[in-house]
Structure 1
Amino acid sequence: MNEISRYRSFQFLLLISSICLQFIPAISDDPSSTKKGKQSAAHHTSRGNTGAKVGIVLLGLVAVGLFSFFLFKLWQKKKREEQYARLLKLFEEDDELEVELGLRD
């Protein structure tokens, strides 16, 4: 995985995170919208709606966290494979060099 694709993956993760964070202000209820006569019934209903909204937002944040953890582990695995390939390339025998130096026929 090259630097550009890592950068794009990181940008995608930030985009998804920022979209999920857009919904956090939606959990607060506007107290001016309830009328004084129906305040107790509206308060009871809004409490249930707020709980559901908080649950949905928390579930979304957990999903984003798990997705980002998966992407991080995938990135680590790719990086480890690249480093291992470089190490093998460093220590592989180069037959052409040995022939040129006269070490081997």
Structure 2
Amino acid sequence: MTEISRSRSVRFLLFSASVCLQFIPGFSDDSTSSESSSKSKPSTNSNTATIIVIVLFGFIAVGLFSFFLFKLWQKKKRDEQHARLLKLFEEDDELEFELGLRA
């Protein structure tokens, strides 16, 4: 069973590495891009810079959203624990009556 999971993880790692390498222009198998890159160099750079900025803003937005959700989760947990603590120390009239502490 562990051999199967290992071979799957190795296959997944190789697949993801090959996909990542396709995004690097030097390792790409596209020979037409090298011929046309000398003609349209300025627009390619501006497009690449725009994509990088958009992706960067996307990562920042996801990070901030995750941070907001984490803080919201922390507050919810803290409120639940506070409610449990109040319930624990709440005066129970029935218990006092059963123990004879109250008439």
Q: TM-score, normalised by structure 2?
A: 0.67
Contact 1:98–1:104 (Cα < 8 Å) also in 2: yes
Equivalent residue, structure 2, for 1:68: 66
Task: Name the structure, 1 or 2, with higher relative contact order (CA <8 Å, separation 6+).
Answer: 1
> In 2, Cα distance between the equivalents of 1:33 and 1:45?
16
Unaligned runs of 5+ in 1: 1-24
Compared CA separation, residues 39 and 101, structure 1 to 2 (3 A): closer
Structure 2 residue runs without a partner (length 5+): 1-19
SS at match of 1:41: coil
- Measured on the aligned residues, the alpha-carbon RMSD in Å equals 2.1
Q: Deviations over 1:79-99 (max 9, x none)?
A: 100110011011111000000
Partner of 1:32: 31
With the length of structure 1 as denominator, give the TM-score of the two structures.
0.66
Aligned position for 2:83: 85
Question: How high is the sequence identity, in percent, across the aligned residues?
Answer: 59
Structure 1 segments, 4+ long, off by >4 Å, are 25-31
